[in-house]
Amino acid sequence: MAQAEEARDRLIAAHPGLAVELVPVTASGDKVQDRPLAEIGGKALWTKELDAWLLAGEIDFAVHSLKDVETLRPAEIAIAAILPREDVRDVLVGAKSLADLPPGARIGTSAPRRAALALHARPDCQVVGFRGNVQTRLAKLEAGEADVTLLALAGLNRLGNSQVGTPLNPREWLPAPGQGAIAIECRAPLRQAQGDRDFELYALLAAIDDLPSRQAVEAERGLLAALGGNCHSPIAVFTEALGGKLAMRAALLSPDGAEMVEARLSFAPDDPAGPRALAAQLLGQASPAIRAHFDPPEEA
């Protein structure tokens, strides 16, 4: 809801007098909290209800946390805007660093990337499943279900909890693809013409698109697509705009964190070949234990 409110506020600022109604939708990902997403349908659990409402015309656009949106989307749906990207860092809650944890400490997370990175850094620790929104996970931590947990700083900032936990260096603890980005999706316009309602809605939303944020997250999603990554795949990536180019650093891990490969590449922001080349480099270095969790398309 905080993300939807931000999208509404930005739209009204760009189009004074515009009326925007928020329509809450409870996604399957919110309803099922006792199992990892990878076991119950993956990222589609965050989008399928909204997709159905969008295509049925019950809503005009949908607001998503981009890291929770599948890489391949229906052709009838378009990402009309990416809002200015928030802080991409993860936050460690419950300790100042992973190094400070005692042997055998319990790390609460259900994210394959976070679990693999944590076990790579601290193979002596154990990962326990943690699902739910920010408040739910903080309550589980307070109840002693784990010794520490990991949260996205972007979510904490949007909820006014920016003082919670210790932010981790994104060049050492690489974030998730798309982390910190809000996407606004609408029906893909069939006709690029005035008078077509879907085209006009797309144009209205595109007015709040942030080009640098879009370029970075589209490159990260391009990397995901070239890797054939899914909600089971431990992949981490950090992208910076440097000297007119995107500098991307990415890592693939085995789920148990025992193995990791890392590579980096710089390329033009609008060059789709860059993420594909980095994906090929990573897969070329990856062991069978890592490659088993990726299914790249033949052309990658």
Whether the CB-CB separation of 127 and 107 falls below 8 Å is answered with: yes
| Distances from the Cα of 208 to the Cα of 26, 182, 199, 226, 271, angstroms | 25, 11, 15, 28, 23
Cβ pair 262, 188 in contact under 8 A: no
Closest CA to 210 of 4, 23, 7: 7
| 14/101 Cα distance (integer angstroms) | 47
* Sheet of strand 106-108: strand arrangement: 126-128, 106-108, 148-152, 90-93, 166-167
> Which residue of the set 68, 87, 147, 198 is catalytic?
68
Asked if 107 and 149 touch (Cβ cutoff 8 Å), the reply is yes
Buried b (16+ CB within 10 A) or exposed e, 180-194: bbbbbbbbbbeeeee
Sign of the CA dihedral running 218, 71, 173, 135:
positive
**DSSP H or E stretch at residue 30:** helix 28-31
| Residue 256 bears catalytic tag | no
- By annotation, the residues acting in catalysis are 68
